Amino acid sequence: MMRSKLFVPGSRPELFDKALLSQADGLSFDLEDAVADEKKGDARNTLQQWMQAPAVLSSNKTIIVRVNAMDTAYFVQDIACVVQRGLNIINLPKPSGVDAVLLAAEAIEQAERANGVNQDGRNPVRLLLNIETPSALRNAYQLASAHPRVMGLQLGLADLFEPIAISRKEPFAIRYAMMQVKMAAAEAGVEAFDGAFADIKNTEGFIAEAQFAASIGFSGKSCIHPSQIKLTNEAFRPSDAAIAHALKVVEAAREAQEKGIGAYVVDGKMIDPPFFKSAQALVASARSLGLIP
């Protein structure tokens, strides 16, 4: 489970070990916007070496690298360099369409073979696709379902809104885009992740956005500052009341199945298959977080 995903500039190796010791579930090392052109080679090589450290290889953190966009001169080198042991996910910015996703998946596969990664086929490097252009938002389902390596969609509101003069503070626009991404991800059977919140001092706004994302089934949210990690983990933590209710639903479902009953009542609420599935998912999430045995 990846509730919080901390962005780490690829040009700041002094932050790598600190990030590994943080409470973030995932670390997203950025080789794109956070690295100047003349530093990109050094950044990718330093990151490659760091990923081979024993502390990284034994960590339970999800390690992600946001590579440069496919229409840049850096993409191929990024993939060839960072697809190593220790890497879990490639974050692909601005995918232009299904063909781009397929080409990215092919590049990852070639790098796996060249670098001796995933030789048994059990732990493929996966793809997290950024939805940060109008066309990507419109075609989000097609992107999400383009290849089995795709594990999720990540909303990038700044890149999506700023070029077309939509305010990043407009609640309707934010919620509209979030629902579009969630529905596309759900149809494709992958996860949806909320993007960054740039106003670091606006704690109230960050919490509200994270809580809304959690309420519509997003798996987690990006953090651009360590202070946002705890807020994110709390927002995406199932409440004790919700866990207790879900456990009751699962137990009642077992009893109902034994009696051949399709719908039943728990705490005054009618429960049928959609509610049961939701309860199962919540219990699984709580178990993965160590909240229940």
Confidence of residue 268 (pLDDT cuts 50, 70, 90): confident
pTM over 0.85: yes
Mean local confidence (pLDDT), 16-32: 98
Confidence of residue 203 (pLDDT cuts 50, 70, 90): very high
Q: Which amino acid is at 216?
A: I
Return all residues near 267 (Cβ < 8 A) that are at least 6 apart.
245, 248
**How would you write 68-126 as a 3-class SS string?**
CCCCCCCHHHHHHHHCCCCCCEEEECCCCCHHHHHHHHHHHHHHHHHHCCCCCCCCCCE
User: What percentage of the chain reaches a pLDDT higher than 70?
Assistant: 100
Domains defined for the chain, CATH in brackets:
4-235 (3.20.20.60), 240-288 (no CATH)
- The pLDDT of residue 107 is 98
Q: Map residue 29 onto helix, strand or coil.
A: strand
Mean local confidence (pLDDT), 4-31: 97
User: With 90 as the cut, is the pLDDT of residue 280 above it?
Assistant: no
- The pLDDT of residue 170 is 95
User: With 80 as the cut, is the pLDDT of residue 260 above it?
Assistant: no
What is the β-pairing status of strands 269-271 and 264-266? antiparallel
User: With 80 as the cut, is the pLDDT of residue 8 above it?
Assistant: yes
